[in-house]
Every structure is written in structure tokens, then in C-alpha cells.
Chains A and B, each alone.
Chain A
Amino acid sequence: MINKLKQKLLSDFNDIQVNIPEDNRMIVNTKKESLLSLLSYLKNMGFNHFAMLSCVDWIDENEFELIYILSAYPENDEQYQDIEKKNIILKTRISREKAKFITIIDIFENAEPYEREIHEMFGIHFEGHPRLTPLMLERDYKIPPFRKDFDTNKYVENTFGKVPSIKERKEGKK
């Protein structure tokens, strides 16, 4: 069943690579220009559940890798016993200096908080997103915190370590 899907994908798109590590999981590497068409193609084939959006920071290769995970719900209860859950993992790469991509809200509406979190933590700008405001953090960081060149020890020393204890403040005033 998965192999038939793999043949179909390889025949319809011409610059992707597909490999199947386990029985119900398929990893598709693609270029960023054909990602949206691939997503809508897969959605029409029945993979209409957008599970997650994640990101990896390849700092040595100067690229971000965005990872989209789709899965399929069985159509009715009889199918639930027969098929196992299938996951399709899509991976693309975008450049690190100009971290911009396009939003997939037109295809899957529930991608909005995931893209907001990735914008806040990695600094990737998604064009077309209606609300790219911070989701969890309250302070301003010069470098977004999840990037690999964000030095956590130095940040803690400069903000939380610089707060004096009450005894030091009292002696300082005197």
C-alpha cells in the first residue's frame, strides 16, 4: 500500500526523494518550491491531518530544515482495525541568512500556532501568516533562543546573574 503510494509520487513529481524506513512511515525530501503543491496533492489523496511542524538548525551547512508531518485518519470504524496509522514526513531546506518561507494556512488551517512558535524560537518569517506575535516568551532576545549560536550560559550570566542579592544592594547603598 505504501509502495504503491511511493511509485505514484515518484512518477508525478520529478525532484523528490522518497524512502521508507519502517512499515507505516514515509520520508519525502523535496525542494522548497514544490512543497505547497506536494502538500495539497497529499491532502487530496486522503492525508488530511496535519500533525506537526518542526525545525532543525543545521548551522554548519547554513540552512534551516523544516519538517512537516502528515497522517491519515481511517474513514470509518471498520477500517480502524485493518489499517495502521500512516505518517508522511516532508522535509525541506531553506537558507539561514534570509530565513523566510510561505505559510501553509491556506491548505491546513491548524498550522497557525506551529508557525508562530517557530517564528518566535528560530526567527523564520512566514509570509501570509495573519498573526506572528510571540506565543510564550515575554522578553526581547537579540538572537532567537533555539538557534545554535545563542549562547545560553552567557545570556544567563548577563541577565539573571547580574541581579544583585538583597544584602549586596543594601551594602551598595550605604
Chain B
Amino acid sequence: MDRNKISKWLKNPGKMANKYSFHVVYFCTGCGIIEIPPSITTRWDAERFGIIPVATPRQANLFLITGYVSTKTLAAIIRTYEQMPEPKYTVAFGSCPINGGMYYDSYNTITSLDKYIPVDGYIAGCMPRPEAIFIGVTHLWKLIDMDKADGYKRYREDYVHYRANQEQILGELDWPPLFSKENL
């Protein structure tokens, strides 16, 4: 952890501050929500990394999707993701967002989350333990250092394709497109 290296702070304060101050949207979906309170309370303290849950997506920059995603939840996830300010990062928990997981043959859950919103990293497990959550966060720091955690940039560039995928599953969406030709 290079939080104490002053020279890196002076070179690029925005990137370092984005790394060490993750405010998490407390979006509780699926089974993985049972693993979030242990990792932010006393025993596996997440606040020493700078992670703290906030109440609204407007104040957050990390989005944790903790478990399976049904089609109703997908609409809520897309609306929450579009409200967050940039730069923002997404981390998916468990095996359900990767390939469907335990619900691979369900009539109502999607099989791969990366087709609908950009995901920066996955933490495998069903559910991952809090130690695995911390290893995932430190790996996300390395990705931010190497400039590879660019999910939000991909969303901005390929928004037309993301929206086409969303409309294929959810039907007619009742919110307007986030990026139109004018403000791209």
C-alpha cells in the first residue's frame, strides 16, 4: 500500500485519491449482502482501507454487485450506475455475474453482467469471504495504477451497444439515453 508516499501524491493526486477513498453504494442485491456487514464492522475492518458505505449513488465511486441479478434488479442497477459521478468502478461478487452461477438455468436471471454494464473486476466464490473482498480491492488498486480500470470510459464510448443489449432484455426502457450525440 503506497498511501504514505508523498511523491506519488504530488505527481498525480487525483488517481491516488480515487484509490484510497472508495465510497461504496450500499446496494443490497442477492445473497452476497450477507458478506458486506461483516467486512465493514469490527472484525474485518474495511474502513482502514478508506472504504465506507454511503447512502446515495451521487456520493459514491465504487459499485458492488453482490450476487445474482434478476431482470427487475438489472433495471435498478442500470439506473443506479448511471447516476454515479465519473470516475467510477464496478466489482462483481460471486459466480453469478460471471456465468450465471447457481442460477444458470433460471427463467429470470441474467447470465453475464458484463454485457449490460461494464465490470472492472470479479471476485470469485459463492460467497467470497471478507478476506477475499480485501484482496479484490487491493487488486483494483493495481488496476487503477496501470490505467486498466476504465469501465466508465468504455461505457461512454460504446454506449450505443450497451443500450442495445439492455433493450434486448428489458424491452422498452423508460429513461432517456445517458449519452447522446451532443454531449459525448
Q: Which residues of B contact A139 (CB under 8 A)?
A: 71, 108, 171
Q: What's the Cα separation between A150 and B108 when bound, in Å?
A: 13
Contact status A160-B161, CB under 8 Å: no
Nearest chain B CB to A150 CB, angstrom units: 7
Contact status A169-B104, CB under 8 Å: no
Contact status A152-B105, CB under 8 Å: yes
User: Is the C-beta of B111 less than 8 angstroms from some C-beta in chain A?
Assistant: yes
User: Is the C-beta of A145 less than 8 angstroms from some C-beta in chain B?
Assistant: yes
User: Is the C-beta of B31 less than 8 angstroms from some C-beta in chain A?
Assistant: no
Nearest chain A CB to B112 CB, angstrom units: 8
Given the interface pairs A159-B169, A163-B115, A163-B169, the reply to whether A170 lies near B107 with Cβ below 8 Å is: no
Can you add 17 more A-B contacts, CB < 8 Å, to A152-B106, A166-B154, A166-B161?
A138-B71, A138-B72, A139-B71, A141-B107, A156-B100, A156-B105, A156-B107, A156-B111, A160-B111, A163-B165, A163-B169, A165-B112, A165-B115, A166-B114, A166-B158, A170-B158, A170-B161
Q: Which residues of A contact B164 (CB under 8 A)?
A: 169
Contact status B71-A166, CB under 8 Å: no
**Interface size of B in residues (CB-CB distance below 8 Å):** 22
Query: Which residues of B134-184 have CB atoms within 8 Å of chain A's CB atoms?
Result: 154, 158, 161-162, 164-165, 168-169, 171
Given the interface pairs A139-B71, A166-B115, the reply to whether A152 lies near B165 with Cβ below 8 Å is: no
| Interface of A: prevailing SS | loop
Contact status B107-A163, CB under 8 Å: no
Contact status B107-A145, CB under 8 Å: yes
User: Is the C-beta of A155 less than 8 angstroms from some C-beta in chain B?
Assistant: yes
Nearest chain A CB to B1 CB, angstrom units: 33
Q: Which residues of B contact A137 (CB under 8 A)?
A: 108
Q: Which residues of B contact A79 (CB under 8 A)?
A: none
User: Is the C-beta of A130 less than 8 angstroms from some C-beta in chain B?
Assistant: no
User: Is the C-beta of B110 less than 8 angstroms from some C-beta in chain A?
Assistant: yes
Q: Which residues of A contact B158 (CB under 8 A)?
A: 166, 169-170
Contact digits for B100-127, partner A, Cβ 8 Å, 1 yes 0 no: 1000111110111011000000000000
Q: Which residues of A contact B168 (CB under 8 A)?
A: 162-163
Cβ contacts A to B, 5 pairs, < 8 Å: A137-B108, A152-B105, A164-B115, A166-B114, A170-B161
User: Is the C-beta of A46 less than 8 angstroms from some C-beta in chain B?
Assistant: no
Given the interface pairs A150-B107, A156-B105, A156-B111, the reply to whether A169 lies near B161 with Cβ below 8 Å is: yes
User: Is the C-beta of A153 less than 8 angstroms from some C-beta in chain B?
Assistant: yes
